Structure 1
């Protein structure tokens, strides 16, 4: 047996310098010999006395090893002795290559729709879209809400909760949405999720079957496309213009949808507001087609001029709209609390499925958030952030006008980002790659599209997490990156009379 498993080392130690027990060495050697086929199926192992004598160890060491192998199913012990159990031999790398190649191709094809442009940078990177002013969050007030939840609600909050979320938070969210966003709902319609992404995934799981058609804005939010891909839906891109999603007249007949994703209050990433005429048309057509609308109100709270744009969900009674939101932009991303407001007609029908799909968790944070909202701290925080983001957006507009000439800027007076269009001959992805090396996290507009066009070449620039003082310097660096790309890429043939676009001369 020594020639098969080799001798045991009485002085063997781990990399940390701790001794390795002899029975552990023996177990490992026998397992390797069985898996490698050196001890074939049906082979009779030596008796414990004989193997102990051959290896120079105690019989108890061998007995412990044999018992362990029996427990794991490597060997069978009966009156005839201890025999190797028939196992499926792991195929060698060479033998497995054809099958592995097929599996790897299928795996790559499955993951391809989820491919990100680059690893997600840290939350404090400058000009990063979608990140709020984390350094301005009122940590003291939030700490007090957490303490109140711990004092009043423990220990029962340590157990499982209602799969739809804590009733106190659901009621607080519904009350806020009715006043601030014009959403027609009560707490029974609110389902708490782990961020808006889980809310989107939940909509797909509740309302679709694999192969169903889903419409998404193009360019549009990548998370919606990921949710539809996870559900094996056929995703159809619908172009966005200055009035939001522009549905072609024949789309309802050619590609009848089951789900339609839209961000009507502040489209991401173009910033367009879906006009009321298109909202009403979408609702009417969805009703006729038996389709459902997902309204993502990801940063509609931050309207910088006039009154906030009201929700589409509350536009008409009993609209076929699932309203999705989260606290990642209004509070902080690590909170991971989102929600979906179900149509009233779905509440009773989904109660049992939700029991199977969700588990009530993050209960302490949910109670704290309910207190944060009810105490008025949430409303005061939103007011402060609106003023801050208004100032930062103005600083960004001024910096873009200074360092880019001419600058076509998309995005209304809302949210935490603006989009700068670039001419087709300056690759937005090349600019972003250069900027990333300088810790500037603007995004390439072309990365948000399924069917890119020349106009989908630009930079999505966040200002929520970047101070007004930082914005000027960062935009100057961004313009320098664009100048460098413009100097290394041959422009397309210029149309007669067209004005050449270029960043302003930074050396002037």
Structure 2
């Protein structure tokens, strides 16, 4: 098995990717036949003279792409691969000799991040994948009628180039909605339509940050934001989260002059805490005194179950340091790819220029349809229905998880579309997540969202996209798996490589 593996330690290609390519080539060529058992990560690492993490990372990539499979208590085996799988393209980094000799530093950073950026799945949504709304409850008929009306009476201005800042009527609708529902201080001129939150973050990083600048990042926090900042060469400063939100005292000790702070104050992702008023005011005071910026990511706070949605931090800002970010992916559907930024008046021109450089503007027909959807009252009615539905589904998850309380505690939350399932201290949540994935249950590990290690282990459990039966069935499958894993595993060094799972493939999308 080791005969065809030749690792070049002088190559710029990481060792785990060299190992991945070697094993993958051996599988595709038939040198390693389906059903052959692979050595353990410990034995493989010892034979090759590399770290066990190197082997585990290679196995994890092979597992995610379907080249190997794991069997509970029986190790890791070469999977049965048909011709379609064998001919499918790989997202692995190409051999270093094939890379352009003048690749930029940012390009190299993109390659380093490709494992999380490109690991998207298009499989049917399975419990408990987070970040997905109830797509089966979206009023498709209403949306299609509005779209048909616009095509039937298509206006020339919707067929031509548009304003980089977005369709003016939609910007007016959003500004009014934010003033009423979030107590924000904004005008339509400050609203810039973007293609989702990732573009919003990318534009903000281009305008406000230079490579080498420091930025506070919630820890744990949103992986999509982390990837944007790392690809831009930003020095991320992980700041811990407590029940009041971002711990500013730690931030000031670690890096008092950070250029920017990225926060999710209304519903911290992924822990679910709400930033206290005292912390919000303190954060704004720090930004004003240090000349720093605040990105307020308000990704799903429409879904609050015991009160109205909270006022935005931006509404408290009297010095123009806060930039507000919203998206329609969670409240309508992700494929719409429409979001928005609300920027201080003095930044509108530069953000508009950056938006034009990216891709000119977002599709105008979708913006026009969304405008009608809002002005005719369909948006608010849909939100009201989803609040009731998601509250029911959250209650179903909390109730169904009661038999798991010895191994997994799932407390309720006042807002959001997911919950945290807390594992006993010392349990490796990646191992648990991986073993659940082998059984078709998606529950990303909390540790994957962290920049710094922590003994707080948990699983991120989305519930919005799943009816009560799907939730109950997934929990029933989970009980024996968790019982076996949690009672027998407590150290990440004791895991079989099959536990490293395809759940990481979903983290960027969630």
Is TM > 0.5 for Structure 1 vs Structure 2?
yes
Query: Following TM superposition, by how much is the alpha carbon of 1:120 offset from its aligned partner in structure 2, in angstroms?
Result: 3.3
Aligned match of 1:205: 206
Which residue in 1 is equivalent to 2:472?
A: 472
CA–CA distance in structure 2, aligned partners of residues 240 and 122 of structure 1? 33
Structure 1 segment 202-281 matched on structure 2, within 5 A? 202-248=203-249, 251=252, 254-281=255-282
Equivalent in the alignment of 1:131: 132
1:357 CA displacement: 3.8
Moved more, 365-374 or 405-414: 405-414
Q: Matched residue of 1:313: which SS?
A: helix
3-state DSSP of counterpart to 1:149: helix
1:174–1:186 Cα contact (<8 Å) kept: yes
Aligned-residue offset at 1:249: 5.0
1:425-436 correspondence to structure 2 within 5 Å: 425-436=426-437
Once the two structures are TM-superposed, the CA of residue 108 in structure 1 deviates from its matched residue by 7.0
Aligned partners of 2:428 and 2:491 also within 8 Å: no
Aligned twin of 1:482: 482
Specify the alignment match of 1:419 in structure 2.
Answer: 420
Match of 1:495 in 2: none
Other-structure match for 1:92: none
- Could you tell me how far apart the structure 2 residues matched to 1:141 and 1:100 are? 49
CA contact (8 A) 2:195 2:362 kept: no
How far did 1:347 drift? 2.0
Q: Which moved more, 1:463-472 or 1:145-154?
A: 145-154
Normalised by the length of structure 2, the TM-score is 0.72
Partner of 2:56: none
Change (3 A) 1:128 1:180: same
Q: Distance in 1 between matches of 2:96 and 2:416?
A: 51
Q: Which is further off, 400-409 or 379-388?
A: 400-409
* Number of aligned positions between the proteins: 396
Distance, in Å, in 2 between the alignment partners of 1:491 and 1:167 is: 55
SS in 1 for 2:248: coil
1:58-97 equivalences under 5 Å are none
365-374 vs 309-318, which deviates more?
Answer: 309-318
Matched with 2:346 is 345
- Decide which structure has the larger Cα Rg and report it: 1
Contact 1:213/1:255, CA 8 A, preserved across alignment: no
Judged with a 3 Å threshold, the aligned counterparts in structure 2 of structure 1 residues 340 and 358 are, in CA distance, closer, same or farther, namely same
The aligned counterpart of 1:403 is: 404
Aligned pairs (5 A) from 1:270-419: 270-405=271-406, 407-409=408-410, 412-419=413-420
8 Å contact 2:203–2:355 — kept in the other structure? Answer: no
| Partners of 1:429 and 1:406 in 2: CA distance | 15
Structure 1 distance, partners of 2:100, 2:414, is 51
The higher relative CO (CA closer than 8 Å, separation ≥ 6) is in 2
TM-score (norm 1): 0.73
Contact 1:271 1:410 in 2 (8 A): no
Contact in 1 for aligned 2:192/2:352 (Cα 8 Å): no
Q: Write out aligned runs for 1:455-466 (5 A).
A: 455=456, 457-466=457-466
Alpha carbons of structure 1 residues 405 and 488: separation in structure 2 relative to 1, 3 Å: closer
3-state SS in 1 of match to 2:315:
coil
Shift of 1:144: 1.8
* Change in 2 beyond 3 A, CA 1:103/1:454: farther
Distance 1:253 1:116, change over 3 A: closer
Residues 1:173 and 2:179 aligned together: no
Distance 1:317 1:477, change over 3 A: same
Q: Distance in 2 between matches of 1:97 and 1:316?
A: 48
Q: Name the SS for the 1:214 alignment partner.
A: strand
Superposed counterparts of 1:178-189, under 5 Å: 178-189=179-190
Q: Secondary structure of 1:339's partner? A: strand
Aligned to 1:28: none
SS at 1:461 equivalent: strand
Check 1:162–1:411 CA distance in 2 against 1; reply closer, same or farther (3 A cut).
Answer: farther
Contact in 2 for aligned 1:270/1:411 (Cα 8 Å): no
Residues 178 and 211 (structure 1 numbering): CA distance in 2 closer, same or farther, change over 3 Å?
same
SS at match of 1:191: strand
Q: 1:437, CA displacement in angstroms?
A: 2.5
Change (3 A) 1:243 1:406: farther
Q: By how many angstroms is 1:439 displaced?
A: 2.4
Cα distance in 2 for residues equivalent to 1:421 and 1:249: 24
CA distance in 2 between counterparts of 1:250 and 1:316 reads 20
Structure-2 change in CA distance of 1:468 and 1:100 (3 Å): closer
Gaps of 5+ in 1: 1-95, 493-508
Displacement of 1:113: 4.1
Shift of 1:101: 12
The 8 Å contact of residues 165 and 193 in structure 2, kept in 1 or not, is answered as yes
- Root mean square deviation, CA, Å: 2.6
The equivalent residue for 1:111 is 111
Shift of 1:286: 0.5
Provide, for residues 187-216 of structure 1, a one-character-per-residue CA deviation record: whole Å limited to 9, x for no partner. 111111111110011111111111111111
> 2:157 maps to what in 1?
156
User: Tell me, what secondary structure is at the counterpart of 1:398?
Assistant: helix
CA distance in 1, matches of 2:184, 2:490: 51
Post-superposition offset of 1:280: 0.4
Q: CA deviation at 1:159?
A: 2.0
8 Å Cα contact 1:403-1:476 kept in structure 2: no
